[in-house]
Structure 1
Amino acid sequence: MKWFFTSLIVIALVSSACSPGVPAQSDLSTPVIDTTSYPTMLSPQTNASQSVSGYVVNLQRAWRDGKQVYADVCFTLPDASDWTIWNANFVYGGQALSEFSLSMLSKQPATNGQPAQRCDELSFYVPPDADLSAASLTIESLGAPPSEGEYCSLYMPKIQEALNQRGLGITLGCVEVNGVLTMQIVGKPDNMSRDEAEQAVFSDEFYTVKGPWTFQVSLGQ
């Protein structure tokens, strides 16, 4: 019996030594990103200015970085309100993009006879393979949406005058709500709905400056 068990142990050891080992896993190769699909390019059109109705908009630079098109735009401020770029679009290859993100770069007060100025950075999303060799950036309007208190202190006289000139029969008034003077519609024609009256009164035309200011840019294929 001792010989039998010894033989089994020897056979097991020999079988283990001769059996193939578990193959080692090869290292996963690092994926290669085609950088040509994410181009970066600066437009040759820089520091271009346009004036519409006395308001100057300056395209300082525009560039493409992968899936984003950026533009640094400066403009003169009509007054002391919090003006910003209200509507803009980027057009390329028959496509028009009107959705954009916005961040303020700088704001300078009026000095030495020069008007106050603000600079914003706009960003549009574009596909990485978009042909931007013949594109355009248009600033449609600048805007300074008023707060509730500003409607009464700054905007109501201008809005009421415009309503009177159009013969709409809408009367405005200021009512104190929670300690703040709030502009309200106090009179309107019976055949005019409340929504129609509010659309006429709270239109963005009263706190925007219309362009357009259009700049041609070339950001490659």
Structure 2
Amino acid sequence: MKWFFTSLIVIALVSSACSPGVPAQSDLSTPVIDTTSYPTMLSPQTNASQSVSGYVVNLQRAWRDGKQVYADVCFTLPDASDWTIWNANFVYGGQALSEFSLSMLSNQPATNGQPAQRCDELSFYVPPDADLSAASLTIESLGAPPSEGEYCSLYMPKIQEALNQRGLGITLGCVEVNGVLTMQIVGKPDNMSRDEAEQAVFSDEFYTVKGPWTFQVSLGQ
């Protein structure tokens, strides 16, 4: 009888070992990214102004929020055209960023002898682990790209004068196209291609104000 019960126990153990086990459950949960670990910091350099050729640019504040560096920049308007920040770059650790997004914050007309002023917010993408402890923001130029009609009414005399001073032999004229006066190249040297003439005529130098205006910022490591 003892032998019988011992045999049953052995058979039960063998059956248990041979039976398929419950497959192990793999952890397929989505990893959680701790966004609170992204650095956020306001630069101590605020309300700093630079003047170049009589044009003042003011860095009101700069701050870092995760993967973005923001800067609120105000500048005096050269005239009544639609001026904005044309070229800018953000430099840190040997890296130079020239691509940025831009949104207007305010546009104040001239009052009480004070020049008109516009404020824009710039945004640059940076890696979250970038060392921004010694960085700089440079506004390279301000620009007011003219509309098609403004080329004839405002810009053509200035452009023609510059072309004449350089001896390029390019002649401009205004032609009505679909009811709008349009500036066109009506004469150029035979040895000058059309593309070369257009590059000289429609260069952004005629509707930009060059800086640079440079601001040192510290946004942590």
Does TM, scored on the shorter chain, surpass 0.5?
Answer: yes
Q: Secondary structure at the match of 2:29?
A: coil
TM score, norm. by length of structure 2: 0.87
Could you tell me how far 1:17 is from its partner in structure 2?
Answer: 21
> CA offsets per residue over residues 15-61 of structure 1, 9 Å max, x none?
99999999999999885544564100000000000000000000000
Aligned residue-pair number: 221
- Where does the alignment leave 5 or more consecutive residues of structure 2 unmatched? none
| Identity over aligned pairs, percent | 100
> CA offsets per residue over residues 77-135 of structure 1, 9 Å max, x none?
00000000000000000000000000000000000000000000000000000000000
Greater mean deviation of Cα atoms: 72-81 or 36-45 = 36-45
Residues 48 and 60, structure 1, Cα contact 8 Å, conserved in 2? yes
Taking structure 1 as reference, are residues 19 and 192 closer, same or farther at Cα in structure 2, changes over 3 Å only? Answer: closer
CA RMSD across the alignment: 4.5
Please list every run of at least 4 consecutive aligned residues from structure 1 whose deviation after the TM superposition is greater than 2 angstroms: 1-37
Residues 68 and 124, structure 1, Cα contact 8 Å, conserved in 2? yes
Taking structure 1 as reference, are residues 23 and 187 closer, same or farther at Cα in structure 2, changes over 3 Å only? Answer: closer
Q: Secondary structure at the match of 2:57?
A: strand
Residues 69 and 125, structure 1, Cα contact 8 Å, conserved in 2? yes
> CA offsets per residue over residues 153-210 of structure 1, 9 Å max, x none?
0000000000000000000000000000000000000000000000000000000000
Residues 1:199 and 2:203 are matched in the alignment: no
In structure 1, what is the Cα distance between the partners aligned to 2:9 and 2:150? 96
Taking structure 1 as reference, are residues 185 and 18 closer, same or farther at Cα in structure 2, changes over 3 Å only? Answer: closer
Taking structure 1 as reference, are residues 36 and 134 closer, same or farther at Cα in structure 2, changes over 3 Å only? Answer: farther
Corresponding residue for 1:67? 67
In structure 1, what is the Cα distance between the partners aligned to 2:28 and 2:202? 61
Q: Secondary structure at the match of 1:159?
A: helix
In structure 2, what is the Cα distance between the partners aligned to 1:6 and 1:56? 99
Greater mean deviation of Cα atoms: 36-45 or 61-70 = 36-45
Corresponding residue for 2:171? 171
Taking structure 1 as reference, are residues 10 and 143 closer, same or farther at Cα in structure 2, changes over 3 Å only? Answer: same
- Where does the alignment leave 5 or more consecutive residues of structure 1 unmatched? none
